Structure 1
Amino acid sequence: MTLFRALLAMSLILWSMSSTSGRNLCFDHFLGAIIAAVNQIVDNAKASVLEIRVLTGHQLNQVFEPTLGVEHLLARLFANTRLCKLGSVGGTDASVRTFSDGSTSKLSKACRQFLINPSMDKDMKKWSAEGLAYLSLNADIKEELIEDKEAVSALVEMSRNGDLSILFGVVTTFVNLTNSYEKQEVMPEMIELAKFAKQHVPEDHPKDTVEYINNRCRVLCECQVVTALVALSKSQSKTSREMIARVFNAICELQELRGYVVQQGGVKALLKLALENNTQNGKYISSQALARIGITINPEVSFPGQRCLEVVRPLVNILHPDCSALQNFESLMALTNLAQVSPSVRTSIIKDNGFSRIENYMYEEHPMLKRAATQCLLNLFLSEDTAKLFEGDTDRVKYLMVLCDDEDMDTVKAASGALAMLTGISKKSCQKVFDAKCWLENLIQLVSSKDSDLQHRGLCIVHNLIDCGNDCAEKVVETQILEILVAITRPEVDDIDHKIKDIARSALKRAEEQKLIKNIENLNTE
């Protein structure tokens, strides 16, 4: 027992020291004494001997086979798992090799064999999964594991049983396979500086590229990994729940795999991960996965019934400065789709602090964020509650008019569309249009645009302004806009859609009714 404790202590000491410290213990007589003790001590001590042997620089091939040849499988597996921990010392750094070539692969194969063996009990499979959790930081091992669909299916089946004791090993393996662990972004300048200072710079493995990662995600979904994640999400560990969210999000990154998440009950699990008992980062990641689902799948299908309302809060939560620009953008896109579903959903977005957060991103310098926010606002105008927010003492209408001259064409379409809807339901907003110094210039650009969508929106705004009353109508009719309206309605102009002509004709008719212009037919003949 004393020898066992001494060996175990030596194992722990070596773990806490740098990898080169083991070289100081490489004395032949010392190692010889340790290896000679292998057959005289208990099984757990054998595992410690293995660790010391490897840490002191000996090749794993020299000790792996003979030392693991013990009677008890549990001891073999225990030793195997501890060696797997050693094999993961380099992490994802492809330049670090703890063991000789092929040794890590042997460990992985041993773990997989234990995992798929039906005669093995729960504890043995748990240790096997934990071994793979450490080894799967290595991209070569990831590819070996993902090609062994029987082993992947075994991991999934273990999770479905609801036994949370296997949580660490299984979830960590899934995180490694999907590369969804947290990555520290390093500036290129810092890498060059480290090279100049002759410091070690971690290298990315060629099998950790997007192509390989996407393929691994596809295989996991084919093996029904979503059902495993749903079962494991019952865990109360915040760290584990964040890891589960990371795997979900990695899967949802691929548009083609989002259907698997919806079909296999992933949305319900993600809602709980986004709102309950999770780290703040875990909640953000879960919400991002929900946003990705809401972007490409009809919200009425992906979030049926009450879930359309439940998903609003997680999406609004990632419209936050602490979240990445990508998370902000995807949330805005998903909210844009949700806002089309029903009045109750739009009301929920507005009341859940969504309107103010969406509006903030309309002022962003990033063109995609500005565009997404404006498009989301456009759909919110389907609710009259949104229009009321523009009628107060604010410059919101003025800013929409300014956006009609934005460099991004999609932003212009969204802003002009929002103005067309707003001026159609709010007379106060019609009057506010003229507060913008650029109102005339921008309206002329819209109504004379060669883009039929922009022209249609511009004419709708003009029609609404004329229909609002004499004050607004006079300001429009006194400008060049009247001439453009007349030109559009001329019979010889045949390259304009008849619907657009009808709107222009209706605007002129309304101006005629207010006795601001002569008879329309006379105008067309002049």
Structure 2
Amino acid sequence: METGSTSASSAQEIEESLDALLDRARRSQSPLPQQLFSLVAAFIPSHPPPLHTKAYLVLSTLCQNVRSSASEKNQQEEAGTESLARIFQPLIASRLSESKDSDIITGVSFLYALFQVDRQSASYIFQDDGFVDLLSTLIVSPSPPLSLAVARLFAQASGHKTCRMVFPTEVVTWLRSQSRQAGDHAIRAAGILALIKLSRGTTSDSSGPVESPSLGNVERQDEEFTAQLMEMIVGNTDTRTFVNDAVEGLTYLSVAPPIKQSLADTAVLRTLFTLVQKRTKSAGLPDHATVLYGVLAITANICAYKPRLSQEERQVAKLHKLAQGGKQSDSQGDEELSHPLDADIHVQTRCRTAIDSGILGVLAVAAGAESAASRDLVGRIYLSLVEDKRNRGRILQGGGVKNLSRTIKSYPSSSPDSLPSEALVPIQALAKLAITSSPIQVFGPNEGNMMDAVRPLSQLVLHPSASTLQQFEAMMALTNLASHSPVCASKVASFPNLLNRVELLLLDDHTLVRRASSELICNLIAGSDEVFARYGGKEGNDQLRTSKIQLLIAMSDVEDLPTRLAASGALAMLTGTPGACRAVFELQRERHRAFSVIGRLIDPSVQIGDAEGESEATPVKGDPGLVHRGVVCVRNILSAEKSLSHTELVEEVERAGLFMVFSKLLNGDLGSYDSTILQSAAEVAKMLADVSTRVARD
């Protein structure tokens, strides 16, 4: 068999041999020599794409088997690497020693494939004494096909530190010459990619920016390479021969803020996004997954916001800079983190450009990708896009919720603890969208879609790796869902351990977290019979009910207005039951604070613990929502007077100054309010007078 042949019969023979090799590999049998020859020959660039796909599967299976067998015998990873090198190195070396370009290309192409499947063994072979020297002889007046194969091999090797250490200067010089030639875009893109990886890798190896005679100034080189690759992609209708290398090169470059700004160009992005769409529709283009991942990575980089550091993280960063001292603290990473082009205003503009250029269509394709890495990028991109509230409407119209739900469902999880941390990103993006509008606008009229969203949002609240912001946004989204219907509220309330965590978060140090948890509990009390009973509507465990009511009373007296509105709203609903009223009354008798807190909802000048209930000299107008809630609470408690001690009730009302509060409210001393509030207040004043009269008569 002529291994370099591209005839149909040769490809068919190779495929049959691959099938036999795969069968032996699955049965843990050693490959036959002829089968290995066929495997090496299967990666010739001219062979059909389906044959390459099968060859990668066979090679991966064979490598896994060899490593597994070697580790069982030696218990060392290096043993597997050495075993693979012993199998493949003679096959590669024999091909590189041939005189025909077709044979040499076969050996080079196989090592290129091995780098993608098992980089350890490929690097081991690449570093072997004399191997790079042998490769160096191939770049002396090579043919275009051989130049392309060698350039791509060097591009693969450039991504690994151990390989970069053995790169001779003449190879870098040759790669630079290939990157500048204008005749063959494929060779040019491969040379550029190799140089990008070398410069990035060299910088990483030395923990700082490096400028060497062979590599030149990295920043200036990045700008040049970006311009060249953009020109190649935008200016050519047929990019099949170089699209993989060009996209991968831009992926590396797009980390730098100036390059992000350059790539956020409508013409460039539309071309990149079109590449994905074309490959989705064309089954004959096997590089779809590779191009899709690269385009997603580029988009994720240009749309990424600066990390939102907590106070503790900022303090740690300051200490780290102080420890480094002086100019050394201004490392490349710190500079990029604080680069002006990474300011929110620039990121917002880049995100809008990406949306205008068609990224939403790409995300619809990528949400169902087989690659977990691509799905991770989908979540990152959506999270960046929804950060700007102005984008959320377009994302909803573009199927953002459906695509995020597909992405989230691809992560396996039986409990919040088992959910991988990568899944938190798309869930947070979903939470931001769910906060934006009513549940029907977000999830559609199908209530089942809303019910499906409860699980991931609840997992985000419960997950041990969730940040404070993620917990806050998840609770806000659940609050919105709970407000839709009692069915949704009950679904939220019944999620295991969720309500316990939300109640703990009521005591969190962060104001927004306390607010979100208060609002969620309020909506659950309103919509779920189970939660209503838990907080006061069920007879029985008086101690538990009292502790819940006490927590709501405390939250009704915090400085944050939305938190007070939510907690006092829950209190107003619960005091519609005798059990909750008794709990409030018992708390008042024990600590003499509950009635004063309720009084402050109506009159902010009421002093907690002031026996006479005296107010500040200057009346303070309250919030209408708080006033209404306070009036309802007092009315409900007085309505339950039959189960309370009349004498003690009047004493505690007087102690809290509620007579004065309602007098001022009705006299207009606290400002003007809606007639509904004043009518309820008049009823309460009459009830207060009646109960006082009865006590005096008795």
- Indicate whether the TM-score tops 0.5: yes
User: Measured at CA, do residues 412 and 60 of structure 1 come closer, stay the same or move farther in structure 2, by a change above 3 Å?
Assistant: same
Give ranges in structure 2 of 5+ residues lacking alignment.
1-95, 99-103, 125-131, 159-163, 281-287, 413-418, 605-620
Aligned position for 2:364: 230
Offset of residue 501 of structure 1:
2.3
Alignment partner of 2:411 out of 270, 277, 283: 277
Find out whether 1:192 has 2:334 as its counterpart: no
Alignment partner of 1:300 out of 420, 440, 452: 440
Aligned position for 2:582: 431
Find out whether 1:159 has 2:243 as its counterpart: no
Find out whether 1:484 has 2:660 as its counterpart: yes
The answer to whether the Cα contact below 8 Å between 1:241 and 1:282 also exists between their aligned partners in 2 is no
Give ranges in structure 1 of 5+ residues lacking alignment.
18-29, 520-526
- When structure 1 is superposed on structure 2, of 171-180 and 36-45 the one drifting more is 36-45
RMSD: 3.8
The answer to whether the Cα contact below 8 Å between 2:603 and 2:670 also exists between their aligned partners in 1 is no
User: Measured at CA, do residues 510 and 49 of structure 1 come closer, stay the same or move farther in structure 2, by a change above 3 Å?
Assistant: closer
Alignment partner of 1:204 out of 335, 342, 358: 335
| Offset from partner CA, 1:391-445 (integer Å, 9 cap, x none) | 3441111111122222333322221121012112x22111111232221332232
Offset of residue 36 of structure 1:
9.5
- When structure 1 is superposed on structure 2, of 456-465 and 69-78 the one drifting more is 69-78
The answer to whether the Cα contact below 8 Å between 1:466 and 1:473 also exists between their aligned partners in 2 is no
Structure 1 SS opposite 2:586: coil
| Offset from partner CA, 1:118-157 (integer Å, 9 cap, x none) | 532445323321221111112222111113x212011212
| Offset from partner CA, 1:60-86 (integer Å, 9 cap, x none) | 899635665386543333223323323
Structure 1 SS opposite 2:465: coil
- When structure 1 is superposed on structure 2, of 486-495 and 427-436 the one drifting more is 486-495
Structure 1 SS opposite 2:552: helix
Offset of residue 110 of structure 1:
2.5
Q: Which amino acid aligns with 1:406?
A: V
| Offset from partner CA, 1:256-286 (integer Å, 9 cap, x none) | 1112211111111111222323671222111
User: Measured at CA, do residues 494 and 369 of structure 1 come closer, stay the same or move farther in structure 2, by a change above 3 Å?
Assistant: closer
C-alpha separation in 2, matches of 1:371 and 1:183:
20
Structure 2 SS opposite 1:134: helix
C-alpha separation in 2, matches of 1:99 and 1:434:
79
Offset of residue 169 of structure 1:
1.2
Find out whether 1:113 has 2:113 as its counterpart: no
C-alpha separation in 2, matches of 1:434 and 1:381:
20
C-alpha separation in 2, matches of 1:177 and 1:152:
11
C-alpha separation in 2, matches of 1:319 and 1:68:
53
Q: Which amino acid aligns with 1:86?
A: L
Q: Which amino acid aligns with 2:467?
A: S
C-alpha separation in 2, matches of 1:196 and 1:439:
56
Offset of residue 518 of structure 1:
4.0
Aligned position for 1:408: 560
Offset of residue 231 of structure 1:
0.4
Structure 1 SS opposite 2:141: helix
Alignment partner of 1:381 out of 522, 525, 549: 525
Aligned position for 2:21: none
| Offset from partner CA, 1:62-114 (integer Å, 9 cap, x none) | 963566538654333322332332343347x9955664253222222232233
Find out whether 1:370 has 2:520 as its counterpart: no
Offset of residue 508 of structure 1:
3.7
Alignment partner of 2:499 out of 352, 355, 364: 355
The answer to whether the Cα contact below 8 Å between 1:108 and 1:135 also exists between their aligned partners in 2 is yes
Aligned position for 2:622: 451
Aligned position for 2:150: 45
| Offset from partner CA, 1:437-469 (integer Å, 9 cap, x none) | 221332232333331432221111000111124
Q: Which amino acid aligns with 1:468?
A: A
The answer to whether the Cα contact below 8 Å between 2:659 and 2:688 also exists between their aligned partners in 1 is no
Find out whether 1:463 has 2:635 as its counterpart: yes
Q: Which amino acid aligns with 1:236?
A: E
Sequence identity percentage: 22
Offset of residue 243 of structure 1:
1.7
Alignment partner of 1:133 out of 251, 254, 267: 251
Structure number with greater Rg is 2
The answer to whether the Cα contact below 8 Å between 1:227 and 1:266 also exists between their aligned partners in 2 is no
Q: Which amino acid aligns with 1:451?
A: G
The answer to whether the Cα contact below 8 Å between 1:476 and 1:482 also exists between their aligned partners in 2 is no
Aligned position for 1:24: none
Structure 2 SS opposite 1:133: helix
Q: Which amino acid aligns with 2:150?
A: A
Find out whether 1:399 has 2:539 as its counterpart: no
Structure 2 SS opposite 1:187: helix
The answer to whether the Cα contact below 8 Å between 1:175 and 1:243 also exists between their aligned partners in 2 is yes
User: Measured at CA, do residues 40 and 276 of structure 1 come closer, stay the same or move farther in structure 2, by a change above 3 Å?
Assistant: closer
The answer to whether the Cα contact below 8 Å between 1:159 and 1:232 also exists between their aligned partners in 2 is no
C-alpha separation in 2, matches of 1:46 and 1:255:
45
- When structure 1 is superposed on structure 2, of 57-66 and 195-204 the one drifting more is 57-66
Offset of residue 245 of structure 1:
0.6
C-alpha separation in 1, matches of 2:308 and 2:97:
43
| Offset from partner CA, 1:231-270 (integer Å, 9 cap, x none) | 0111122222112111111111111111221111111111
Alignment of 1:48-127 (within 5 A): 64-65=176-177, 69=181, 72-89=184-201, 90=203, 95=209, 99-100=216-217, 101-127=219-245
The answer to whether the Cα contact below 8 Å between 1:488 and 1:501 also exists between their aligned partners in 2 is no
Alignment partner of 1:144 out of 236, 259, 262: 262
Q: Name the TM-score, length of structure 2 as normaliser.
A: 0.64
C-alpha separation in 1, matches of 2:629 and 2:501:
26
C-alpha separation in 2, matches of 1:210 and 1:410:
27
Structure 2 SS opposite 1:286: helix
Structure with the larger RCO, 1 or 2 (CA within 8 Å, 6+ apart): 1
User: Measured at CA, do residues 142 and 198 of structure 1 come closer, stay the same or move farther in structure 2, by a change above 3 Å?
Assistant: closer
Offset of residue 2 of structure 1:
3.8
